[in-house]
Amino acid sequence: MKTLNQSDKDYLLKTIRDIKDFPKPGIIFKDITTLLGDAKAYNFLMDHLADRYQNEDIDFIAGIESRGFIFGAALAAKIGGCFVPIRKPGKLPYTTISEKYSLEYGVDEVEIHIDAFKCTKENPKVLLIDDLIATGGTATAAVSLINKAGATCVEACFLLNLTFLQGDEEIKKTTPVYSVLELD
Ligand code: AMP
């Protein structure tokens, strides 16, 4: 597996745009649409993630709404895995399990279909994916949902970790964490 060197990381970092005071004053929002709009950078990132996970024992990739869908669905297609959406309340049509959590800016809830990980295998293995760790609340709630739905989260993967908020420490209590880029 190829690890990214500092110049690879700097290259990806430069494609992410900072939006000050969004969605409210004091927040610097990490805008990944600029990365997605750069075909070379987006492919470079997805190739790196595929390289990291393609030989791992992973049955499902669970993406957190909404930016986790973009990376998670693309990764699932690349490594031949199944994709499962973890969504905001009221979006999933079948019976759901839900979990409340705190955000960097507010309180929210995530849901998953009760049968999301139904497969012939007992205790399926899940890779969780999202764009960013802030407080770690969303991902911790998502790991809890994965467990409640009868699966095991083998790793939580993020593009960006805002290390100064130490959210990764919270997530690491429940599952290993990998972040492509770290910002302090
Ligand atoms: P948290 O639960 O605090 O770790 O927040 C992570 C979730 O909120 C992720 O789904 C992010 O997309 C979003 N988020 C939180 N803070 C930011 C930020 N500064 N820039 C972009 N997205 C953020």
Active site residue 182: no
What's the pLDDT score for residue 130?
Answer: 98
Mean pLDDT score, 83-105: 91
Active site residue 104: yes
Sequence spans of domains, the chain: 56-183
What's the pLDDT score for residue 101?
Answer: 85
Residue 162 CA, ligand 1 centroid: distance in Å: 9
Q: How many C-beta neighbours within 10 Å does residue 111 have?
A: 22
The pLDDT of residue 103 is above 80 = no
Among 52, 87, 99, 104, the one annotated catalytic: 104
In tens, the pLDDT along 21-78 reads 999 899 999 999 999 999 999 999 999 999 999 999 999 999 999 999 999 999 999 9
**Closest C-alpha to 124, from 158, 81, 157, 94:** 81
Given the candidates 3.40.50.2020, 3.40.50.300, 3.40.640.10, 3.40.120.10, the CATH classification of the domain at 56-183 is 3.40.50.2020
